[in-house]
Amino acid sequence: MRKLWSDQSRVAARDWPAARELFFLRCRSKNLSEHSLAWYKNILNGFLRFLEASGAPSPRETTPNLLRSYFDHLRERGQSSITINRTYGALRCLFRYLAQERVIPATPFVLIEKPRVEKKLIRPLDMDQARLLLAQPKLKTFVGFRNWTMMLLMLDAGLRLSEVLGLRRDKIDWSANRVYVHGKGDKERAVPFGGAAKKALWEYAQWRGDVAGQDVFFQDQFGGQICTRHFQITLKRYGKAAGIEGVRVSPHTLRHYAGFRTMPSCLGLSVGRPQFLAW
């Protein structure tokens, strides 16, 4: 049965669309998270667009030099060394699998060195910058108050944006002041939060109400899922409006704030929407 499957897969995956589908079948069989599947899809789509512009070589015709040209292409487009390094890892995984299935005779990555990552010190927000950033959302609106609550939770608990967006309502332990989130590897972990974040979460929960068939805690104004990219852009816009300079305002920066100091009560946050607005 194994030999039959291998023979069929080799024949079917002679072109890139079939090879791509074969790889994603493997990813789904490993029960990878939706976030991981989307990550692979984004990287492979970009790679296939490059191949199409290069004459659409088949998997067997994809050489080490062609792959090196793709990484140079990413550098010329201004992609960071971290992005290029992650792209290298995803494509290496793809070609290793194709070699294991004997779709290709060997993986070309044995001849390609891993791209070097430039190590940059992540500068976190200071207290004044955190205040300015949290002052930007319009708290009289649902979206503004939701964004404010999400930002406060990331600053306080150090959560990743993916963990905040995936937070379920039944995973908030109000009595123990902690949330249960799924991080890297789809592993659940318990993360504590402080009093200010608890008050904001509770106020948002009352505003949100119950939405039938929707267990995700943070939603858009229509009760659907929040777009990751849209929130990143919104956060960047808040940083620009706040006049924050010298610090990259991103979900990752907010997460690092919690790593350097605990969100103190001296921020002046108290329960009740009027107090939020006064802050």
Tens of pLDDT, residues 67-123: 999 999 999 999 988 899 999 999 999 999 999 999 999 999 999 999 888 777 677
- Choose the most confident range, by mean pLDDT, from 34-38, 117-121, 202-206: 202-206
pLDDT at residue 210 above 70?
no
Lowest mean pLDDT among 198-202, 244-248, 265-269: 265-269
Question: Rounded distance, CA 137 to CA 82, Å?
Answer: 30
Residue 104: φ, ψ to 5°: -125, 155
Instruction: Note the pTM of the prediction, 2 decimals.
Output: 0.59
Q: Are 157 and 193 in contact (CB under 8 A)?
A: yes
Residue 269 pLDDT exceeds 50:
no
Tokens of 120: 């940059």
CA atoms of 179 and 163, how far apart (whole Å) = 10
The C-alpha atoms of residue 170 and residue 69 are separated, in whole angstroms, by 48
For each of the domains in the chain, give its residue range(s) and CATH number, in order of start. 2-111 (1.10.150.130), 127-278 (1.10.443.10)
Share above pLDDT 70 across residues of the chain, in percent, rounded to a whole number:
85
Structure tokens at 28: 């789904």
Query: What residue spans of the chain are helical by DSSP H?
Result: 2-12, 16-29, 34-53, 64-76, 81-100, 127-134, 142-157, 161-165, 195-208, 228-241, 251-260, 273-278
Residue 273 pLDDT class (50, 70, 90 cuts) = very low
Nearest to 247 by CA among 258, 236, 259: 236
The SS3 call for residue 190 is strand
Residue 191 φ/ψ, nearest 5 degrees: -130, 125
Strand arrangement of the beta sheet that strand 172-173 belongs to: 172-173, 178-182, 188-192
If pLDDT is split at 50, 70 and 90, which confidence band does 236 have? very high
Q: Is 185 helix (H, G, I), strand (E, B) or coil?
A: helix
Distance CA 26, CA 4 (A): 17
pLDDT of residue 275 exceeding 70: no
**CA 272/CA 143 separation, integer angstroms:** 17
Strand partners, 192: 178
CB burial of 263-279 (b: ≥16 within 10 Å; e: otherwise) equals: beeebebeeeeeebeee
